[in-house]
Amino acid sequence: MNNTQAFISANKERFLEELIDLLKIPSVSADTKFSKDVRETASLVAKRLKEAGAENVEICETAGHPIVYGEKLIDDSLPTILVYGHYDVQPADPIDLWTNPAFEPVIKTTEIHPEGAIFARGSCDDKGQMYMHVKAFEAMMNANELPCNVKFMIEGEEEVGSENLGVFVKNNHERLIADVILVSDTGILANDVPSITTGLRGLSYVEVEVTGPNRDLHSGLYGGCVANPINILAKMIASLHDDDNKITIPGFYDKVVDLSENERAEMAKAPFSKAAYCKALDIDEVMGEDGYSTMERGSIRPTLDVNGIWGGYTGEGAKTVIASKAYAKISMRLVPDQDPVEITNLFLNHFESIAPEGTTVKVTPHHGGEPAVTPTDSIGYNAASMAYEKTFEKKPIPVRSGGSIPIVAMFEKELGLKSILMGFGLDSDAIHSPDEHFGLFNFYKGIETIPYFYSYYTELVKS
């Protein structure tokens, strides 16, 4: 791998410039206003894959945004790695809170990233991490050191639920045959504490609408006499957690797989400072389900959170009004073996049942996804562990993450393949938030580490 690493060192500046070009295109998948930009991003990714040495590069149309596919098959007796990533990004809103515009990348140093970080929407999630794979591949190709076959599948709808990728996977079993899936769309604990993600939570996401009277009313004439949908919605939402911060939906915890005391003790070994955690968020105390640590609450336990709530008058000054309707968007993060469809139904039945007389409730499900866990005794995990140990000079810790990548469970179901989650971001990189960034240390470390995964994986399969 020496020539590969030499090629990486010699081309660092160009790699970064290319990433900056990619980050300038606002590939927001959720907003049709950006459809052209999403397409342009797909074209650029395809172009870069081709230049890096991939063959059969294709922009595959879907009912939504396209998927970029490419491959380099050198020998069918060698293993095949299927690399998955996404080129779409979250909306930049609220744009006023960005220090620099979201699609005008800048490099600045921070306390955590003294060697600099690139600030832009998608820098960490996931353009920066996806691009590490393109550059690692380019380096192996140039050095003539690609040790196995590789396929790339880079989608444009991860941030909106990957529904069309699901269809693509179902229809392309043959083309996607591989031995392992490799994904960089998660993180490490810290730049001096490498870790490998061994679990992702599932997701159930619903929108609720509470209707009271058939029109907005004068709050002096009608207040206190009819159900106020906003008051009621607030009360209904508050009732979804009890005093121990457990979720009150009947049956919600029935299928939750509890970790053994042994597993929990293992988890507790990962470094965590409550003081530093609070300080970074400017809070004086953490909050969550009784009986669990912050690390556990954020990974192995299911949660329910309101993501947005609105209704009534929110303009300037005061308007005395009782609104006819109130709304909220609610997400539930799920753990094995909770099923998103089942949980959505439990929520729906419960929410309807607690609506008081004088109101009606409508629950609309949005996209969801199943949780996933990966074993730590597989060839893929061991290869990843060796690769991190090589470049970080420390053995990585297995960590279950709180985030969701719904397609990972789908890969397992449809292709029978486990995903190795080799992420390089940090929780503090502000993904989905204003001022998202990705450390240059992390970007380059990713490019350096990936080729070792390829070679260790190939070695371990052969032996």
Contact residues for ligand BES, defined by CB under 6 A: 125-126, 158-159, 161, 185-187, 200, 203, 367, 369, 401, 403-406
CB of 264 to Mn ion, least distance (A): 27
φ, ψ of residue 15 in degrees (nearest 5): -55, -45
Residue 365, CA atoms < 13 Å, CB-side half-sphere: 17
Angle at the Cα of 122 from the Cα atoms of 117 and 125, rounded to 5 degrees: 90
CB of 86 to Mn ion, least distance (A): 6
By beta-carbon proximity to ligand BES, the closer residue of 348 and 405 is 405
| Contact (CB, 8 A) for 363 and 329 | no
Instruction: Name the binder of 161 from ligand BES, Mn ion, none, CB < 5-8 A by kind.
Output: ligand BES
Element (H, E) at 258: none
Angle at the Cα of 242 from the Cα atoms of 236 and 244, rounded to 5 degrees: 155
By beta-carbon proximity to ligand BES, the closer residue of 313 and 441 is 441
CA-closest candidate to residue 420, choices 393, 396, 445: 396
By beta-carbon proximity to ligand BES, the closer residue of 211 and 404 is 404
- Cα dihedral 85, 89, 90, 95 sign: positive
Q: Residue 359 is encoded by which pair of tokens?
A: 């109101």
By beta-carbon proximity to ligand BES, the closer residue of 71 and 126 is 126
By beta-carbon proximity to ligand BES, the closer residue of 239 and 272 is 272
Q: How many helices (H) and strands (E) does the chain have?
A: 13, 18
By beta-carbon proximity to Mn ion, the closer residue of 70 and 85 is 85
Stretches 7-15, 118-126, 270-278, 449-457: which one binds Mn ion (CB under 5 A)? 118-126
Taking each helix axis from N to C end, the angle separating 2-10 and 12-23, rounded to the nearest 10 degrees, works out to 60
| Alpha carbons 204 and 332: distance in angstroms, whole number | 5
User: What Å distances lie between residue 181 and 4, 379, 381, CA to CA?
Assistant: 22, 12, 11
| Alpha carbons 80 and 150: distance in angstroms, whole number | 5
Instruction: Name the binder of 186 from ligand BES, Mn ion, none, CB < 5-8 A by kind.
Output: ligand BES
Binding Mn ion (rule: CB under 5 A), the pick from 18, 126, 157, 429 is 126
185 makes contact with Mn ion (CB under 5 A): yes
| Contact (CB, 8 A) for 349 and 249 | no
CB of 368 to ligand BES, least distance (A): 8
CB of 246 to ligand BES, least distance (A): 22
By beta-carbon proximity to Mn ion, the closer residue of 160 and 169 is 160
- Burial degree of 322 (CB within 10 A; 0-12, 13-18, 19+): buried
Binding Mn ion (rule: CB under 5 A), the pick from 18, 125, 155, 429 is 125
- Burial degree of 210 (CB within 10 A; 0-12, 13-18, 19+): buried
CB of 125 to ligand BES, least distance (A): 5
Instruction: Name the binder of 203 from Mn ion, ligand BES, none, CB < 5-8 A by kind.
Output: ligand BES
CB of 15 to Mn ion, least distance (A): 20
Provide the mask over 389-408, with x wherever binding to Mn ion is found by CB under 5 A and - wherever it is not: --------------------
Count of chain residues binding Mn ion (CB under 5 A): 3
| Contact (CB, 8 A) for 239 and 390 | no
CB of 277 to Mn ion, least distance (A): 21
Spatial CB neighbours of 444, under 8 Å, sequence gap ≥ 6: 8, 12, 15
| Contact (CB, 8 A) for 364 and 206 | yes
| Alpha carbons 53 and 38: distance in angstroms, whole number | 23
CB of 215 to Mn ion, least distance (A): 39
Stretches 180-188, 208-216, 251-259, 360-368: which one binds Mn ion (CB under 5 A)? 180-188
Report the site for Mn ion in 12-41 (rule: CB under 5 A): none
| Contact (CB, 8 A) for 447 and 453 | no
| Alpha carbons 278 and 188: distance in angstroms, whole number | 19
CB of 329 to Mn ion, least distance (A): 16
By beta-carbon proximity to ligand BES, the closer residue of 149 and 338 is 338
CB of 161 to ligand BES, least distance (A): 5
By beta-carbon proximity to ligand BES, the closer residue of 149 and 404 is 404
Instruction: Name the binder of 138 from Mn ion, ligand BES, none, CB < 5-8 A by kind.
Output: none
Stretches 54-62, 124-132, 272-280, 374-382: which one binds Mn ion (CB under 5 A)? 124-132
Stretches 60-68, 178-186, 272-280, 348-356: which one binds Mn ion (CB under 5 A)? 178-186
Residue entry with tokens 């045959």: 177
CB of 103 to Mn ion, least distance (A): 16
The single-letter code of the amino acid at 348 is: L
Instruction: Name the binder of 369 from Mn ion, ligand BES, none, CB < 5-8 A by kind.
Output: ligand BES
Q: Which residues are 197's β-sheet partners? A: 399, 421
Chain residue whose CB lies nearest ligand BES = 403
The site for Mn ion (CB under 5 A) is made up of 125-126, 185
